[in-house]
């Protein structure tokens, strides 16, 4: 009797878990990339457009669909107090990173600061995409989630599709690559560039001091905990202005120096966001030339 039930369960589960589809380049998606973060790939409740990737139901086996856009990163109550990021709701593990450190650097390099760790909490591939401290609704809070991922806690959430939470694998970005890699194989969009990992030696350095001298532009804006290039001269650090963050070791380059995870309109309100969440378009190497005099 038990074996018969097990066989039925296996067949039923297989119907909901198709073979993983592999990546096939930068496929079109339902994301308009304008208006709000809800229309970008940072909206983790969404999936690829119909016909543009794996069966939608497959995504519910890999992460909780909380049905809210902001909750994957922020919470109005019970925020993660171990990191200086506004109302942070994600687990931030103690992770060691291999830093960019070549003789061509103009200054010392320190470990990534909060404005990089927030990004790396997904992009280093060490923590599940749905690993939050405070889930939507009442009574779904676990303080220990701030630094340690607890899958038993995460499986208390039932996806809106009705799939058993016990089937949820709570994938990290590294695990997402089992589908979102291998361009040309057909299926999911290729997210390989998004997986930075813990080896930062082949990426633009973070934690590096704001350089000075004739080879560098001097940021004119000064804000609490930051220096920035005040492009419009209003004295305010706007989302479309590149900046250096000071977390106690002087102003330094961090991930958020050049990237805004919410998206920045390239042509004013309502226009499309700069690609890859850049603060400004890199047309003509504008991002590079904001800092470098070349």
Tens-digit pLDDT profile for residues 81-101: 999 999 999 999 999 999 988
As given in the structure block, the two tokens for residue 285 are 């190497």
In this predicted structure, what is the pLDDT of residue 185?
A: 54
pTM (predicted TM-score): 0.87
As given in the structure block, the two tokens for residue 13 are 């589960």
Q: What are phi and psi of 33, to 5 degrees?
A: 60, 40
Tens-digit pLDDT profile for residues 176-226: 888 888 666 556 778 889 999 999 999 999 999 988 889 999 999 999 999
Provide the 10 A C-beta neighbour count for residue 49: 12
What does pLDDT average to over the chain? 85
Cα distance between residue 112 and residue 116, in whole Å: 6
In this predicted structure, what is the pLDDT of residue 91?
A: 98
Q: What is the mean pLDDT of residues 275-282?
A: 95
Q: What are phi and psi of 114, to 5 degrees?
A: -55, -35
C-beta of residue 128 within 8 angstroms of C-beta of residue 154: yes
Beta bridge partners of 159: none
Tens-digit pLDDT profile for residues 240-269: 999 999 999 899 999 999 999 999 999 888
Cα torsion 291, 37, 127, 194 to 10°: value is: -50
Cα distance between residue 124 and residue 174, in whole Å: 8
DSSP strand pairing (243-246 vs 221-223): unpaired
In this predicted structure, what is the pLDDT of residue 4?
A: 41
> 3-state SS of the chain?
CHHHHHHHHHHHHHHHCCCCCEECCCCCCCCCCECCHHHCCCCCCCCCCCCCCCCHHHHCCCCCCCCCCHHHCECCCCCCCCCCCCCECECCCCCCCECCCCCCCCCCECCCCHHHHHHHHHHCCCCECCCECECCCCCCECHHHHCCCCHHHHCCCCCCCCCCHHHCCCCEHHHHCCCCCCCCCCEECCCHHHCCCCECCCCCCCCEECCCCCCECCCCEEECCEEECCCCCCCCCCCCCCEEEECCCCEECCHHHHECCCCCECCCCCCEECHHHECCCCHHHHHHHHHECC
Cα distance between residue 60 and residue 39, in whole Å: 19
Which band of pLDDT confidence, cut at 50, 70 and 90, is reported for residue 286?
A: very high
Tens-digit pLDDT profile for residues 145-168: 999 999 999 999 988 766 676 778
């Amino acid at each position: 009797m038990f074996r018969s039930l097990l066989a039925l369960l296996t067949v039923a589960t297989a119907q909901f878990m198709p073979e993983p589809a592999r990546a096939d380049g930068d496929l079109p998606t339902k994301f308009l990339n304008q208006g709000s973060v809800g229309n970008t790939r940072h909206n983790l409740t969404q999936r690829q457009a119909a016909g543009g990737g794996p069966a939608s139901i497959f995504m519910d086996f890999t992460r909780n669909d909380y049905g809210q856009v902001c909750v994957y990163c922020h919470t109005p109550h019970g925020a993660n107090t171990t990191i200086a990021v506004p109302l942070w709701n994600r687990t931030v593990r103690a992770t060691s990173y291999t830093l960019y450190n070549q003789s061509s650097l103009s200054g010392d390099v320190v470990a990534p600061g909060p404005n990089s760790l927030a990004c790396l909490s997904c992009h280093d591939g060490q923590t599940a995409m749905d690993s939050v401290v405070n889930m939507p609704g009442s009574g779904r809070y676990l303080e220990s989630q701030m630094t340690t991922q607890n899958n038993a806690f995460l499986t208390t959430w039932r996806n809106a599709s009705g799939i058993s939470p016990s089937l949820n694998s709570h994938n990290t970005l590294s695990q997402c690559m089992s589908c979102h890699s291998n361009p040309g194989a057909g299926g999911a969009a290729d997210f390989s560039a998004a997986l930075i990992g813990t080896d930062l030696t082949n990426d633009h350095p973070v934690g590096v001091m704001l350089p000075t001298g004739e080879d560098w532009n001097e940021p004119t804006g000064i804000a609490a905990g930051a220096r920035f290039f005040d492009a419009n001269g209003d004295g305010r650090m706007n989302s479309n202005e590149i900046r250096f963050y000071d977390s106690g070791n002087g102003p330094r380059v961090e991930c958020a120096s050049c990237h805004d995870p919410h998206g920045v309109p390239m042509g004013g309100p309502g226009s499309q966001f700069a690609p890859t969440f850049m603060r400004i378009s890199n047309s003509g190497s504008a991002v590079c030339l904001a800092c470098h005099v070349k």
